[in-house]
Every structure is written in C-alpha cells, then in structure tokens.
Amino acid sequence: MSTLPAGVLADVPLSRYTTIGTGGLAQYLAEPTEESALLAMLRWAEERNLTIAVIGLGSNLLPADSGFAGLVLRLDGALAAIDVNDAGATVGGGAALAAVVRKVGDAGLAGFEFACAIPGTIGGAVRMNAGAYGQELKDTLVSVTICSATGSRRARVDELELTYRHSNLRPGEIVTQAELSLAPGDPAAIKALVRDYQDRRSAAQPRKARTFGSVFKNPPGEQTSGQILEACGLKGYTVGGARISEKHANFIENFAEATSADVVALMIEARRRAREQYGVELEHEVQTLGEIVIPPA
C-alpha cells in the first residue's frame, strides 16, 4: 500500500461514525481541521478516482454493510468553528447544529431555534435544506463556502436552489462555511423556545434508541409519513435487529446489532404498505453510503 496522506486512515468501521450504528468499512477516513488540509485530501482522492463522502455527525445516513470504497470525511477544528457577530454567525460546515443554537442564543440572536431539533452539522443541513417546526435552513442562510478538488468558491443562498430537503450541491462539493443572518432577541425567550422544541421532540420521537432520524420525507397532503405508517400498523414491526419505532413510525431503531440490510428491508415493507393501503409513494429522506439500493415499493 502506498503511503497515505497525513490524517487519512484506512479500513475504518463506519458503524462507529453513524448514529444508526450499522455499516461496513470505509476504505479511507479523515477528519481535516483546516481548509488547506481538506483541499489536499480532495486532490489526493481525485488523483486516485476515489468517491468522496462527508458524514458530519453520522445522522441521516445509512452505510452499506459492504462498506464504502472511497474517502469519508468529517470536518473538525477550524472547519467546525462558530463565530458570532451582531447580525448573525459565520459557521464551519462541521459545526453541530445544537452547538450553533446554543452559541447564537447566548448572544441574543434569534431565528435559529428550530435547528435544536435537528441532529447533524451545518454542512449537512445546507445540503438537505434541513428544517423543523415550519422553518428551513434557507430562511437564515446568506451564503456558503464550497470546497472541491478544484478549489473553493462562494455561493449565495439563491444559487443553491434550496427546496424541500434538497439543494443543487453535487457529489464532491463540500460546504466548509456558512453565513447566517439572525435577528436580535431576548436570550431568555430564545432559551424558552428551544426548551419547548426539545420537549416536543422528546415527547414525539425516540431519544435513546440508535436511529438515523426520519426515514421518509412527508408526502403532499395533510398526513405525515409517520401518521401513514402508524395507520398501516407498522409500529414495532421488526426485521433482524431493526424495528420501526413504537414511539414514532417514521423512525427505525437498531435495537440488537442490526445490519443495514435489516433497515432496508423495513423501508421496503413500509413503502409497500403505504402504497397498497393509502396509495402514497414514500420517498426516503435518509442518505445512503456505498452500494446500497432501496428499490421502489
């Protein structure tokens, strides 16, 4: 094997880096802390035709049991920094959303409270235009810095074409920084709203179980995916070591050394029942990594 660049590890279990706790080995994994190191890793990967994947905190992610042939990245250090100013914040792509919520709230800046209910990082939230409680990231996002093997560039929020759980970011493009615009607010009121959101989430969603978050996007109409799947009688439905949560039917739990194949089997069954019983085609929200296929219902 040729010498690896500084900070790049080989054959790393993805189950250690994902909230669902499944998946095989990543061919390579690195946690760059500076943009220069990240760019060097991206160029190294491109020279070897390696696929790039950024996993953030490992939520909203289902890796294949066979692993991932390529370079997996987690942004850290300066690439996860949070700098607050009078009008908002400059946030590294690797920064945890929960940490951003705390820091801007302590500074008396309002408008980002909704993100306390979303596990993950700023970079992943931009890519998916993450949202909760009637708000989306695009509501506070001004611009981003995007890195790829060809270098870095700035992009305005309107250039990202953000829609429901979607952006136009291409594979290999990594959000390393985001500019947020926030409004002055009362720190006590901000903290109270965050607590309310957290309490609502705890009451409705599994908190201690290993999950990757919501499985399916909400379809058009009044019923959510969770309501449809609950009506299909799927709460508690089990395949191998994975089960559909008894608390919220749009969550899958790894309760007994589940494999990603167990999870996929549950997703296929859920889509089949939603289609056959309610005529609804559910689209999965979770991102996959490696050779993993979730066929149509």
Q: How many residues does the chain have?
A: 297
Helix (H, G, I), strand (E, B) or coil at 152: strand
214 is catalytic: yes
Beta-bridged to residue 9, according to DSSP, are 29
Among residues 81, 86, 6, 82, the alpha carbon closest in space to that of 38 is found at 6
233-239 contacts, C-beta under 8 A, 24 or more apart: 233/273, 234/269, 234/270, 234/273, 237/266, 237/269, 237/270, 239/263, 239/265, 239/266, 239/269
Q: What is the CA radius of gyration of the chain?
A: 19
Task: Give me the catalytic one of 15, 214, 245, 260.
Answer: 214
Among residues 93, 126, 127, 131, the alpha carbon closest in space to that of 112 is found at 131
- Beta strands 25-30 and 68-73 are parallel
273 is catalytic: no
DSSP for 102-127 reads HHHHHTTEES-GGGGG--SBHHHHHH
Task: Give me the catalytic one of 43, 152, 159, 165.
Answer: 165
CB burial of residue 171 (10 Å; 0-12, 13-18, 19+): exposed
285 is catalytic: yes
For the annotated catalytic residues, the residue numbers are 165, 214, 285
